[in-house]
Amino acid sequence: MAAQSNGNPAECFIKIPNIKFTKLFINGQFVDSVSGKTFETVDPRTEEVITRIAEGGKEDVDLAVKAARDAFDNGPWPRLPGCERRRIMLKFADLIEENTEELAALDAIDGGKLFHFAKTRDIPSAADTFRYYAGAADKIHGETLKMSRELQAYTLREPIGVVGHITPWNFPAQMFSAKVGPSLAAGCTMVVKPAEQTCLSALFYAHLSKLAGIPDGVINVITGYGHTAGAAISSHMDIDKVSFTGSTAVGRLIMQAAATSNLKPVSLELGGKSPVLIFEDADVDKAVDLALLGTLFNKASEFFSFGLNHVYKKYFLAFWPNSKLQNFDILSGRTGSRVFVQEGIYEEFVKELAERVKSWVVGDPFDPDVRQGPQVDKKQYERILSYVEHGKREGATLLAGGKPCDRKGYYIEPTIFADVRDDMIIAKEEIFGPVMSVFRFKTMDEAIKRANATEYGLAAGIVTNDLNIANTVSRSIRAGIVWINCYFAFDRDCPYGGYKLSGFGRDLGMDALDKYLQVKAVATPIYNSPWL
């Protein structure tokens, strides 16, 4: 059983911030929803209501889109020199960094994020992502074309227009920066709908954007539910592009809405059931550390981090002073919930895994000794527990966990199943919680085939000391990113996205800019050409 923290209240670790912003942010102002409706946001640590937030609906989306459209068609942002957009975005990044502690605390009370990780990594990484794209704002260029006829031509890369961003709950800071950063650099205006579970920091970012000098109407934030506010964004005739991160089921609905409205392009980063393939030549201690990190870190809802710094590494090693990962890249990424272990080391791996998880401390995310906080809300908490029951009923061997923690809040013990079969529900469906499934395999070809036997294709990990195995498997796995002898090795320079039902389009890197730009060709005849 994993250790539980029963320490002092969170207030002993950090002062809980006062909630300053709970209204919609439209055209540079915080306003009530048209309907006057609000909804509760709940602290997953205590199951108590934090505050009530304005519930945006279709009418509010209409107002936000109108503001964004006017800012795009008539406002300064798309017309500013890139260097001026860069200056303002750098100011925005500085303001985020100046408010790191408050933003980290908001994500801890709103979504159960580990405060110290948010403070040392998530929020600074979000600020640096804005700096990264600020550096791109004045480097967006077209091409001069060598034509086959007597013509001169060139291309322009222009902002696509008004963008709708719909973000998930698991990484509020980084998802906001990964989507808003490149679209700002491109010169777009936007309407952002954060997940209803984690709205508080998005509204704070909206406040900081105004302080930074981003013109009114460029960033609008509509809080509310997916089936109302999110649906209105997806189907809106005056939104030119939608970027969504979330479930595959909702991604399908967004594509349908976009297709039946104004045929707007969409980019989707969707679900995953990512495999980690551990070969028998690997160091078992290192492999166990990677498997635990890949499955349990951030409650197994980890998407990505945008850079490893000494503070983050120091904090991780404080958790795991004897970790074998000290020379590995240990950044957060897509959960590796299917762990395939070659039969030669399977028994040793499983035994060490069961022993190591006992020290995984679950508790209040403000407690610096805690490695796993609560699940984001009651719905997700109950969903994860239902999958755990499926695993038990289907005959998988329960190595650890398998039940709620004995305390108030949405806490679940880290759960590990061994001897999992490919046809089990826990092997096929995305759980998005601290549940690991361990499989046994014999040959490399078998491992590749079983790893690819999923409708998803977001990420994969390979643990081996054999270069031939690493090269063969990495080229054979159908996933958007493959990590060799590391996991969660993300960087803001590295594009990220999925294959198959894990979506299409890429966040991060310069590739992300392409989502928010369109290419215009301009051609003119050369003097005395037959075209005159």
* Residue among 55, 269, 413, 430 flagged as catalytic: 269
* Rounded CA separation 29/49 (Å): 25
Query: How far apart are the two ends of the chain, measured CA to CA in Å?
Result: 81
Strand partners of residue 242: 164, 266
* Rounded CA separation 313/319 (Å): 10
Nearest residue to 293 via CA among 351, 353, 246, 247:
353
Pairing of strands 338-342, 435-441: parallel
The DSSP letter of residue 494 is S
- Alpha-carbon torsion 41, 42, 43, 48, what sign? positive
* Rounded CA separation 316/278 (Å): 22
Q: Which residues contact 252 (CB under 8 A, 6 or more apart)?
A: none
CB distance 364 to 12 below 8 Å = no
CB distance 414 to 2 below 8 Å = yes
Backbone φ and ψ for 358, nearest 5 degrees, come out as -65, -25
3-state secondary structure of 230: helix
* Rounded CA separation 150/165 (Å): 43
- Alpha-carbon torsion 435, 438, 439, 442, what sign? positive
* Rounded CA separation 130/152 (Å): 36
Token duo for residue 302: 């980890």
Place of tokens 């991604």: 251
Catalytic residue at 269? yes
Nearest residue to 498 via CA among 175, 182, 270, 302:
270
* Rounded CA separation 482/464 (Å): 13
* Rounded CA separation 298/304 (Å): 10
Token duo for residue 336: 């590796």
Nearest residue to 177 via CA among 135, 128, 233, 223:
128
3-state secondary structure of 278: strand
* Rounded CA separation 294/329 (Å): 12
* Rounded CA separation 96/102 (Å): 10
* Rounded CA separation 62/195 (Å): 19
- Alpha-carbon torsion 426, 376, 482, 356, what sign? negative
Strand partners of residue 432: none
Please list the active-site residues.
269
